[in-house]
């Protein structure tokens, strides 16, 4: 009986950690979307699609985004969002960076604040600038096709 309880407790903790990771990731995506003072429906769709790709359940996506939007509004720094994300695997980080560039390119221009954000995120997520730049060019090519 105690093994059953222990396994369920470990499972619940793992789910909580995953939910927190997804919430922080969504908050980071929303932060990037709001960087240029325009949070468009297109950006929201990019965020939803990315969150589904990263493991968020479809039936909880809207609730997750509401929570993430509140977190983003109430936070004054991106360090809070990157603490969990920086410890993920390269595949997770690559999907995140791709989504961030899609959000930034969604209005067909990159302003200095968005560029600055991406440079800061490269360091905070332990990614080199070349990797982030390569992902940027891949996204730009996909969007121009």
Residue owning tokens 């990731």: 25
Cβ-based neighbours of 17, under 8 Å, separated by 6 or more: 84
Tell me: the pLDDT tens digits for 3-26? 543 444 443 344 466 889 999 999
Confidence of residue 27 (pLDDT cuts 50, 70, 90): very high
Nearest CA to 28 out of 10, 5, 47 is that of: 47
Residue 106 to residue 37: CA distance in whole angstroms: 13
- Residue-range definition of the domain harbouring residue 133: 2-144
pTM of the model: 0.84
Nearest CA to 103 out of 88, 91, 93, 118 is that of: 118
Q: Please give the tally of structural domains in the chain.
A: 1
């Amino acid at each position: 009986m105690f093994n059953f309880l222990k396994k369920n407790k470990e499972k619940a903790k793992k789910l909580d950690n995953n939910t927190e990771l997804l919430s922080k990731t969504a908050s980071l995506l929303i932060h990037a979307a709001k960087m240029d003072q325009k949070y468009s429906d297109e950006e929201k769709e990019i965020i939803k699609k990315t969150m589904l790709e990263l493991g968020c359940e479809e039936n909880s996506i809207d609730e997750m985004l509401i929570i993430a939007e509140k977190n983003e509004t109430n936070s004054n720094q991106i360090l809070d969002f990157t603490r969990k994300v920086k410890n993920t695997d390269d595949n997770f980080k690559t999907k995140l960076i791709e989504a961030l560039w899609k959000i930034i390119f969604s209005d067909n221009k990159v302003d200095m604040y968005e560029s600055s954000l991406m440079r800061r995120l490269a360091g905070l997520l332990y990614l080199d600038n070349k990797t982030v730049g390569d992902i940027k060019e891949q996204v730009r090519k996909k969007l121009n096709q």
